[in-house]
Structure 1
Amino acid sequence: MNIVLYEPEIPYNTGNIGRSCVLTNSTLHLIKPLGFSLDEKQVRRAGLDYWHLVKIVEWNSWEEFLDANPDGNFFYATTKSHQTYCDVTYHENDFIVFGPESRGIPEEILKKNPERCITIPMIPMGRSLNLSNSAAIILYESLRQTGFNFGE
Structure 2
Amino acid sequence: MRLALYQPDIPQNVGAAIRAAACFGAGMDVIEPCGFPLDSREVRRVAMDYGAGAAPVAHSGWSGFLENVGGARLILLTTKGDRTIWEFSFRPDDIILMGRESVGAPEEVHERADARLRIPIAPVARSLNLATAAAVALAEARRQTGWG
- CA deviations 1:38-97 (Å, max 9, x no partner) are 222111111112223323211001111112223111111000123001111111121000
Q: How far did residue 23 of structure 1 move?
A: 1.9
Q: Output the CA distance in 1 between the equivalents of 2:117 and 2:8.
A: 19
User: Quick check: 2:5–2:31 contact (8 Å CA) kept in 1?
Assistant: yes
**Aligned pairs (5 A) from 1:13-24:** 13-24=13-24
TM-score (norm 1): 0.90
The alignment-based identity, stated in percent, is 36
Task: Report matched runs for 1:86-101 at 5 Å.
Answer: 86-101=86-101
Matching residue of 2:58: 58
Once residues 65 and 47 of structure 2 are traced to their aligned partners in structure 1, the CA distance between those partners, rounded to angstroms, is 24
How much does 1:35 deviate? 1.2
Call closer, same or farther: CA 1:51–1:70 in 2, change over 3 Å.
Answer: closer
Letter of the 2:85 counterpart: Y
Q: Over residues 95-149 of structure 1, what are the superposed CA-to-partner deviations in whole Å (9 max), with x where a residue is unaligned?
A: 0000010011112322454x60000111232221100100000000000001115
Query: What is the aligned-residue RMSD (CA, Å)?
Result: 1.5
What is aligned with 2:7? 7
Relative to structure 1, the CA distance from residue 60 to residue 89 in structure 2 (aligned partners, 3 Å threshold; closer, same or farther) is: same
Counterpart residue identity of residue 47, structure 1: A
Matched, 1:130 2:129: yes
Task: Give the match for residue 139 of structure 1.
Answer: 138
- TM-score with structure 2 setting the length: 0.92
What amino acid is the match of 1:72? A
Q: Distance in 2 between matches of 1:66 and 1:112?
A: 9
How many residue pairs are counted as aligned between the two chains? 148
Output the CA distance in 2 between the equivalents of 1:108 and 1:124: 28
For residue 118 of structure 2, what is the aligned residue in structure 1? 119
Structure 1: stretches of 5+ with no match in the other structure? none
In structure 1, distance between residues paired with 2:67 and 2:48: 32
Unaligned ranges ≥5, structure 2:
none
Distance 1:131 1:98 in 2: 7
Which amino acid in the other structure matches residue 128 of structure 1?
Answer: S
